[in-house]
Copies of this chain bind each other. A is one copy, B any other.
Amino acid sequence: MKKTLNVGLIGYNFMGRAHTHGLKNLYMMADDLQVTPRLHTICGRNEGEVERVAGKLGWEKWSTSWESVVDDPEIDIIDIASPGNTHCEIAVAAAQKGKHILCEKPLATTLGEAEQMLAAVESGGAMHLVNFNYRRVPAVMLAKRLIEEGRLGAIISFKGFYQQDWTLDDELPFIWRFDKAVAGAGSMADKGSHIIDLARYLIGEFEEVSAAMEIFVKERPIAGGGQKRVVTTDDAAVFTARFACGALGVFETNRMSSGRKNGLWFEVNGTEGSVRFELERLNELQVYSRRDPEDCQGFRQVLVTQASHPYIRYWWPPGHLIGWEHTFTHQFYELFRAIETGQLPSPNFRDGLVCQKVIEAINQAAVEKRWVTIDR
């Protein structure tokens, strides 16, 4: 009989639904797990809404108080899928109760918060994971494998982009994401944290950065009224980097890129080969190898659905695509395995903290118009 781990989920909107879906489908990976999740309590601020969602998604209980969820002795895991400015308080409280924690990205809105959170979980002694879920795309993990095995040689360059188009409309009303006080940052941190984390995952630490940010739509209408409010978070950012391994990097985050819906993509060039990845074709990895026969070298379109590819054996036969949502199931798998084995999973709060340091350096570089070294 497998041991049941009770989950308390804070947040019930888009991320709440995605986390729930990830949990509910963890049964597909059950053969390699001794523990099994129970959807114990879901928590949100709007009572009617959280009750409705609990029913639809299959949570046993619901609550409007995250404190009571964190305090509930039955609950083993706190899953934080609420807005960024709530992460620190919840995580610290959960850590103090010795709960395992899965926290959405970016870990915090300031470096101070991130440091506080890491200290809390290290003191609490339980497992912690930051939900940089794109590390859990099989194609991204294949890229990691190729790099680790030396199949790309020494890394020369990393290009990372995260482009969306949802703020293009001038008439899109002001929401919390346009308010720096609440959101912490705009596209640079919200989207940038994903590509910063992927760059770290794939080729290692950032050494120094330079950056520029821009707000293209300066003010936005307040919903339901004739007035406008000033936007204080960036619509787009560009930054360049040097990495500890010697590679150069170029990055862009942009929520006003016509035609890109969830356009995270990257390219890594090494002395022996290159890889390219696009999240909008997440089952594929483009691979170039200089070790191929000279007359047949070219970027290969590898369909990452073979049983030999990461995680795929839990799903379907070759050629049967998985979706974006599977990354959540894979994250829970990593957390549950960590709980079983007592080995800290990756990316954990330390990764979240380092990512935050890079974000702050980018911010500073943009403001001071100079290169800034990341303090590690």
Residues of A within 8 A of B (CB): 14, 18, 21, 24-25, 27-28, 30-31, 56-58, 142, 145-146, 152-154, 156-157, 159, 161, 163-164, 166, 168, 210-212, 214, 216, 235-240, 242, 246, 248-252, 254, 256-263, 269-274, 279-284, 287-290, 292, 294-303, 305-306, 308-309, 315-326, 369-371
Contact = CB atoms under 8 A, between A and B. Distances in A.
B236 A240 contact: no
Contact of A258 (B21, B164, B251, B288): B288
Nearest to A268: B258
A237 B309 CA distance: 31
Contact of A57 (B27, B156, B262): B27
For the residues of A in contact with B, the DSSP-based class is mixed
A285 B237 CA distance: 25
Contacts of A58: 27
Q: 6 tightest A-B contacts by CB?
A: A262-B319, A261-B319, A259-B288, A323-B323, A298-B300, A298-B302
B300 A296 contact: yes
- Number of copies of this kind of chain in the complex: 4
A25 B319 CA distance: 21
B56 A318 contact: no
Given A259-B269, A259-B298, 13 more contacts: A30-B56, A168-B290, A210-B211, A214-B248, A258-B274, A260-B319, A261-B303, A262-B320, A301-B301, A321-B323, A322-B324, A323-B323, A370-B371
Contacts of A263: 319
A240 B211 contact: yes
B18 A316 contact: yes
A275 B278 CA distance: 17
Of residues A154, A296, A298, which shows the largest number of chain B Cβ atoms within 10 Å of its Cβ? A296
A297 B287 CA distance: 9
B168 A271 contact: yes
A258 B240 contact: no
Contacts of A21: 25, 28
Contacts of A260: 269, 274, 319
Given A18-B316, A295-B308, A238 B250 contact: yes
B279 A289 contact: no
A299 B270 CA distance: 21
Contacts of A262: 317-320
A145 B21 CA distance: 29
Contacts of A289: 296
A116 B139 CA distance: 47
